[in-house]
Amino acid sequence: RHHLMIDSEAADVVKQIFCMVAEGNSTAKVAQVLNAEHAPTPSANKAGTSSAHANWSGDNFWSRKMVSWIIRDRQYIGSFVYGKRVRDQIGVHRQVKAKLDDWIIVDDRHDPIVSKELFLKAQEQLGGEFRQTSGHVKQDYPLHRKVYCGVCGMAIVRRAKKAPYYCCDTPNSLPDTGCCRDKIYEQEILDAVTEAIRMQARCAVEAKHIIEAKRKQNESDILSMRVELRNLQVLQERITEQNRGLYEAFVDRKLNRDIYITKKAALRQHLKEISEKTKSVEQRIFKAKSEHNDFVECYGKYTELDELTNEIASDLLKRVTIWPDGRLDISLNYVDEYPDVQCQTQDKASF
């Protein structure tokens, strides 16, 4: 118990990774070789065990980042590392990365897979021992975690600072994939998303005008429906009174039991029908009076949108999918709440 046992098959892959990196191979080259050999990934090894994660996909592959994680993991030289993540507030389940100086490293706690000499040599090939960044850097740009590859489905990371661009990293690990290898500059995506939002905004304005016209018509309809509702309520009261009189007649022996049961069942059925009609009229009145529509409210104010801000992207943009031919599929929020009016729109815009 509380003792790590070596998985011989997985250990062979780990040794191969450390040896290849120590010999000067890049993490991308290592990932390519492992994928070509169909070597099982860590998640594939844990599939079907208590260590498996619900969010892991069965169609996973080796990547540069995955290789780097293994090279930096001191677990493979027999060490335990505690306290990598801590709760920054009492009573909050969220955890944050702890400072490197606060990590608790206990050496020689279990059998190593690679020697310390091989471990250090691999670290040198990656630029020396692991150095933690000074702190968490907030990703402050509108497309953060919004851009995905249409072929492999993986998220695409933003690269460069002066002229940011997006390019799928999967081909570096799986050269035969059909992912887009061209750079798609961030400004191109921002312009496309901004135009897509403006298109929805124009439809929202048109829809609002139609809704206003329908609302005026609904005012007269509501008056007639209220009259209908009141008549149904009066009828309910009459049936209730009839039911009471029927019971009194039965108690006074003016009606025999069979006649009483028959007439009571008929009144109950009539009352049920009236209750259903009453509920239907109430729903029609509520629908006619309803003024709020998320699509109109969220998009109507952006007809002249010039710049996509973090706040707008967080609220309206679901995701951007990049395809090999350079096409962008832009998925927006709230479009499924588009009102039932004549102006038509789509939930995706392609550019």
Q: What is the pTM of this model?
A: 0.65
- Alpha helices, DSSP H, located in the chain: 8-22, 27-36, 42-46, 64-72, 116-125, 170-173, 186-251, 257-289, 294-299, 310-316
> What proportion of the chain, given as a percentage, has pLDDT over 90?
48
- Taking the C-alpha atoms of residue 330 and residue 147, their distance in angstroms, rounded to an integer, is 9
Helix (H, G, I), strand (E, B) or coil at 148: strand
The widest CA-to-CA distance across the chain, in whole angstroms, is 107
Distance separating alpha carbons of residues 29 and 319, to the nearest angstrom: 30
Q: How confident is the model at residue 292 (pLDDT cuts 50, 70, 90)?
A: low
Q: What is the CATH number of domain 8-134?
A: 3.90.1750
Quick check: 42 pLDDT over 60? Answer: yes
If pLDDT is split at 50, 70 and 90, which confidence band does 255 have? confident
What is the per-residue pLDDT across 104-125, written as a single tens digit (0 to 9) for each?
888 888 889 999 999 999 999 9
